[in-house]
Chain A
Amino acid sequence: MDIFLSDKNRLVQRIAHGFCEREIQPIAGKIDKEARFPWDVVKKMGELGYFGIQAPKSLGGAALDTVDYILIIEEISKSCAALGLCVAVHNSVALYPLLAFGSEEQKKKWAPQLTSGNKIGAFCLTEPNAGSDASGIESEAISKDRYYVINGSKAFVTNGGVAGIYLIFARTNPNNGNKGISVLIVERGTPGLIVGDLEELCGVRANPVSSVSLNDCEVPSQNLLGREGAGLSIGFAALDIGRIGIAAQAAGIARAALEEAIRYSKQRHQFGVPIAKHQALSMMIADMATRVDAARLMAYRAATLRDKGESFSQASAMAKLFSSEISSEVTDQALQIHGGYGYSKSYPVERYYRDARVTRIYEGTSEVHKMVIARGIMGN
């Protein structure tokens, strides 16, 4: 993979790696156990540009490209998938829609708060009754004079518990199917926006995933992002990029598991030799390494296509599908290689196993991605 990277990419990777090893790695196990969002580290990351990776300098961003972005997400996720998720979602599906579809006033108002990490972004599309079927959302935003009044209920909002800015998808036109959904920017603290209890999750536990309810929540019309009715196309455009980030996240988790498995298999002796010398295990390691490599390269390809201005939806769907699937396989094998110790919380492998699992579900389940990819190949 290194052969494809520019000097700039390599520097970005090195810097991310150094910070994550020093500041995130040592606390990752603890914050997972406590399901605690590490605000102190997140504040530091905000100052360093992690929350505005591709945003322009004029808005407080680092003005890096998509390849840099995936390298950063991968490094964070290798240390802590929950933080990798936070940064990925913030950058790709909260900040990006504002930058791509927002008016100049909206960008000036909210982008600097997001790029600095002072406010974390959240993307609120999923509802209790609408997951894969995004067009089935029932939240409504009724236009009244210079306001929209929003009512509805959002589920599984990544960063929900700590976000300062929520992108709420709601129907502005109940009769227009897919074209009736819009996106509204709602700030935390707006009366009627209620952040629900945190979900108790199997993995990525340090990410404050919560429900979000809107009870007659009034927001100014100026908070409409893009046009009325453009909600789903904005959402899908954002998810196209979000998927590349998740592909990188899953690859990072898998890489962490692989490295632990290699290290363990060299140290652990059974039957008089390091278990790495037993063919059954060395075959597993070979499989794992090949899959991790392929996942990283697929994420890289999707990122590069985007940076070159070429169509990348298929590539990002394939990357996310593949990377998330192999991350479950690789973490499972890594756990197996560790034997009983892999099942114990004294070792990090079980955390990787739990963290990997969700990557097959969010930002489009594997099943949805297969649909998308098949459609892309066969036409409608």
Chain B
Amino acid sequence: MGVNIIVCIKSIKSTASQGQRSFSDELNPHDRATLEVALRIREDLGGTITALSMGPETFATSLHETMAIGVDRGILISDRALAGSDTLATSHVLAAAIRRLAPYDLVLFSARTADSDTGQVGPQTAVALELTIITGVCSIEQGKNSLLVERNYDGFLERYEVYFPAALTIHQSAIRPRDTGFLRIQSVFEKGLECWNHTDLGLNREEVGEIGSSTRLFSLSQTKKMRGCTFMSGSGPGQADQLVKALLQLDMI
């Protein structure tokens, strides 16, 4: 029997560009914890794990990596029409793909990505699927035919009992991901990925990509933190006095 789990993963542009090496696309580091949650549930309850990702062909490497980590099936949703998708269009596509994978018990997302970090795709997809969703889960336990999850928000620890089918977004702190090895690599490439496009999902061009988005990214620029430096003259108690005055002026104490 077991639990059918779908994990939505994302590739991000590699932040490490060292010397002569740059991995152009890498698995969103937060997704490792999410995948680990899926692996543990499968170890306890049996079932299958499918990794799902929407993006260009270069996202295939991350999906291969999830299969090397232990996912049973990797599906890439990719075609030109999907380019320029905002989180709403993305969640619309993911929801269509997840419906195609029914029946399922659990849909997992990471609470955050290391790039755009909107945290929206999980909730938007869950709403599209009319699934219960708990976000920012930092702890999971087996209940009786359910999961007991915790989230830590605004200084409060919330505990929920969640019945399948449900969606969760997993906070990175929830679990320490296992190391990935090489023992599955050969079979990953023998098995390969599945590739779907928007027509496979029964969607029209107008529902996806830039056309299907309700927001458009205008520009993206790195903000630079301007740091000032004030030297306090004198020594000991005199400097301490100056420091206290300065902090009071800045409303920091």
The chain A residues found within 8 Å of chain B, CB to CB, are 7-8, 10-12, 14-15, 17-19, 22-23, 44, 47-50, 53, 57, 62-64, 68, 72, 255, 258-259, 262-263, 289, 292-293
Instruction: Say which one of B123-131, B183-191, B216-224 lies at the interface with A.
Output: B183-191
Which parts of B34-74 form the interface with A (CB within 8 Å)? 60-61, 64-65, 68
Could you say which residues of chain A place their CB within 8 Å of the CB of B156? none
Q: Are A14 and B182 in contact (CB under 8 A)?
A: no
Could you say which residues of chain A place their CB within 8 Å of the CB of B183? 48-49, 57, 62
Q: Are A255 and B185 in contact (CB under 8 A)?
A: no
B231 at the interface (CB under 8 A from A): no
**18 new A-B contacts at CB < 8 Å, known A14-B26, A64-B185:** A7-B60, A8-B188, A10-B61, A11-B65, A12-B185, A15-B68, A22-B179, A48-B179, A48-B181, A48-B183, A62-B185, A62-B186, A68-B182, A258-B19, A259-B18, A259-B19, A289-B19, A289-B20
Given A259-B18, A259-B19, A12–B182 Cβ distance below 8 Å? yes
Residue of B nearest to A293 (CB): B20
A292-B65 Cα distance, complex, nearest whole Å: 28
Could you say which residues of chain B place their CB within 8 Å of the CB of A263? 18
Could you say which residues of chain B place their CB within 8 Å of the CB of A68? 182, 185
Could you say which residues of chain B place their CB within 8 Å of the CB of A48? 179-183
Chain A interface secondary structure, helix, strand, loop or mixed? helix
Q: Are B61 and A11 in contact (CB under 8 A)?
A: yes
Residue of B nearest to A261 (CB): B19
Interface centre among B20, B26, B182, B189 (most CB of A within 10 A): B182
A263-B64 Cα distance, complex, nearest whole Å: 32
Q: Which of A11, A47, A63, A289 contacts B68 (CB under 8 A)?
A: A11
Report B71 CB to chain A, min CB distance, Å: 13
Could you say which residues of chain A place their CB within 8 Å of the CB of B180? 15, 18-19, 48
B153 at the interface (CB under 8 A from A): no
Chain B interface secondary structure, helix, strand, loop or mixed? mixed
Q: Are A50 and B182 in contact (CB under 8 A)?
A: yes
B-side interface residues, number (CB < 8 Å): 20
A62-B64 Cα distance, complex, nearest whole Å: 16
A49-B181 Cα distance, complex, nearest whole Å: 6
Report A149 CB to chain B, min CB distance, Å: 39
19 contacts between A and B (CB under 8 A): A8-B64, A8-B185, A8-B189, A10-B61, A12-B182, A14-B65, A18-B180, A19-B179, A19-B180, A48-B180, A49-B181, A50-B182, A62-B181, A62-B183, A62-B185, A64-B182, A255-B21, A289-B20, A293-B20
Per CB-CB distance, the 8 closest pairs between chain A and chain B, nearest first, are A48-B181, A49-B182, A259-B19, A62-B182, A49-B183, A49-B181, A63-B186, A15-B180
Could you say which residues of chain A place their CB within 8 Å of the CB of B182? 12, 15, 48-50, 53, 62, 64, 68, 72
Q: Are B181 and A15 in contact (CB under 8 A)?
A: yes
Could you say which residues of chain A place their CB within 8 Å of the CB of B188? 8, 11
Q: Are B18 and A15 in contact (CB under 8 A)?
A: no
Report A41 CB to chain B, min CB distance, Å: 10
A63-B181 Cα distance, complex, nearest whole Å: 12
Could you say which residues of chain B place their CB within 8 Å of the CB of A262? 19
Report A267 CB to chain B, min CB distance, Å: 14
A19-B23 Cα distance, complex, nearest whole Å: 15
A49-B19 Cα distance, complex, nearest whole Å: 28
A8-B191 Cα distance, complex, nearest whole Å: 12
Residue of B nearest to A44 (CB): B179
Which parts of B2-28 form the interface with A (CB within 8 Å)? 18-21, 23, 26
Q: Mark B180-209, 1 if CB is under 8 A from A, else 0.
A: 111101101100000000000000000000
Report A258 CB to chain B, min CB distance, Å: 6
Q: Which of B19, B61, B186 contacts A14 (CB under 8 A)?
A: B61
